[in-house]
């Protein structure tokens, strides 16, 4: 892992969400609800989704690791095929570590 100082522009809530996303371990996922809980706003699932949508640093701020409550893949700026690819790649590599 590496540390990369970032300061993307966004609302305080968006920055909190983006920081929470950076804490999701490689090869793992979280639901929108879990991210909302992590930022202290347990009812803000949709707002978490919007923060992911406005994420200016795809991959670096790994919004692809956020999934629907039922495990479904939902929105990703680069498309759902790319999201599925990234999640599979990370899961496979994490298992080999």
Residue 30 and residue 24 in contact, taking contact as beta carbons nearer than 8 Å: yes
Q: Which member of 47, 61, 63, 87 is catalytic? A: 63
63 included as an active-site residue = yes
Coil, strand or helix: which one is 25? coil
Short-list 62, 22, 76, 16, CA closest to 41? 16
Catalytically active residues are 63
């Amino acid at each position: 892992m590496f540390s990369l100082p970032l300061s993307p522009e966004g609302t305080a809530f968006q920055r909190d969400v983006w920081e929470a996303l950076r804490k999701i371990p490689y090869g793992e996922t979280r639901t929108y609800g879990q991210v909302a809980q992590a930022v202290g706003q347990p009812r803000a699932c949709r707002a978490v989704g919007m923060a992911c949508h406005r994420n200016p640093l795809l991959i670096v701020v790994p919004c692809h690791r956020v999934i629907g409550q039922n495990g479904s893949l939902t929105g990703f700026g680069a498309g759902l095929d790319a999201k599925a690819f990234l999640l599979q790649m990370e899961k496979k590599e994490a298992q080999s570590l």
